[in-house]
Amino acid sequence: MTESRFARLEDVILDEAFPELDLALRRGRHVDRDDAVWYQLLVDAQDHLEPLYRRYGCELVHKSDGYFYLLPTNDRLGKRHLSPSEMLVGQALALLYLDPATVETGGMVTREQVLAHLAGVVGSDVLVRMMNPKRRRYDERVAAETVRSKVADALRRLSGLGFVDAVEETRYRLRASLLRFAEPLRGAGSPAAHLADLVAAGELVLEDEQAEHTPDDPDDGDDIAGDDIAGDEPADKGDDASEESPP
């Protein structure tokens, strides 16, 4: 184990990269090796930061797949929730991340590929019903457009939380933190196969959640401990995550 470059917590806080990193973590951002400066800072300062964040009711989690995030253990910093549609898209992206064909493209996918993958796993009719659960009758064209809109919104949200990078308006690079969606299935044989079964059944699960959730209403946030998939909305307003009480 290499010696940390930080002798004290004060040294960490005084690092010029720490303020933005700290805000990002509190807003639910996942930090992986692609965030080179932030990731190395967390690796070097982990021993100092773990007790600091525990004082605020959070655990600084470091996964062996190469990413960090904050997991709230109480409501002191506030919690956020991913909606069922965001959870479903996240799980589909995790399947794509685990697909060898995606590796060959450098981890790049398009929005159309995500839509096609979702339709292939759950079926087009089921996907429409999952994204339009309150409607007993619907116009097919309007319903299909609703699906496209919700998937686009989910991709924007997941991008803000560090699960994907928006390379272009409809192209995304998948990141290692997507493996968090497959975390509950580790040790269950093939995580990809089990995750595909869950997505096909409309069941949404995340680590640290005991219950499985069925997306009855995509407008209701899945009751995931905030930054149990995580934190705040993407940082577009500059508000502190503790001001609201965030998937």
pLDDT at 127: 86
Answer yes or no: is 212 within a domain. Answer: yes
pLDDT at 229: 45
> What is the total count of domains within the chain?
2
Are residues 47 and 148 both part of a single domain? no
Are residues 37 and 100 both part of a single domain? no
pLDDT at 131: 83
Are residues 46 and 108 both part of a single domain? no
Answer yes or no: is 197 within a domain. Answer: yes
Instruction: Examine the fold and report which residue of 72, 103, 124 is the final residue of a domain before the chain moves on.
Output: 72
Are residues 107 and 51 both part of a single domain? no
| Residue pair 160/235 in contact by the 8 Å Cβ criterion | yes
Domain span at residue 213? 84-224
pLDDT at 211: 33
Domain with 35 in it: what CATH number? 1.10.10.2250
Are residues 120 and 187 both part of a single domain? yes
For residue 11, the one-letter residue type is: D
Mean pLDDT by 10 residues, the chain (247 residues): 81 98 96 97 97 95 96 80 87 91 92 93 84 72 88 96 94 95 64 60 43 37 38 37 34
Answer yes or no: is 78 within a domain. Answer: no
Domain with 143 in it: what CATH number? 1.10.10.2260
Answer yes or no: is 132 within a domain. Answer: yes
Ramachandran category for residue 15: left, alpha or beta (phi over 0 → left; psi -120 to 50 → alpha): beta
Answer yes or no: is 34 within a domain. Answer: yes
Q: Which residue in 166, 170, 183 sits closest to 234, CA to CA?
A: 166
- Tell me the two tokens of residue 205: 């699960």
Answer yes or no: is 190 within a domain. Answer: yes
- pLDDT digit string (tens) for 39-73? 999 999 999 999 999 999 999 999 999 999 999 98
Are residues 56 and 111 both part of a single domain? no
Are residues 94 and 209 both part of a single domain? yes
Are residues 91 and 208 both part of a single domain? yes
Are residues 52 and 28 both part of a single domain? yes
Are residues 178 and 215 both part of a single domain? yes
Q: How many other CB atoms are there within 10 angstroms of residue 149's CB atom? A: 12
Answer yes or no: is 25 within a domain. Answer: yes
* β-strand partners of 172: 109, 166
Are residues 207 and 89 both part of a single domain? yes
Instruction: Examine the fold and report which residue of 48, 72, 96 is the final residue of a domain before the chain moves on.
Output: 72
Are residues 205 and 149 both part of a single domain? yes
Q: Quick check: bond before 188 cis, omega within 30?
A: no
Instruction: Examine the fold and report which residue of 27, 45, 72 is the final residue of a domain before the chain moves on.
Output: 72
Answer yes or no: is 142 within a domain. Answer: yes
pLDDT at 143: 83
pLDDT at 94: 92
- Packing angle, helices 84-98 and 111-122, rounded to 10: 100
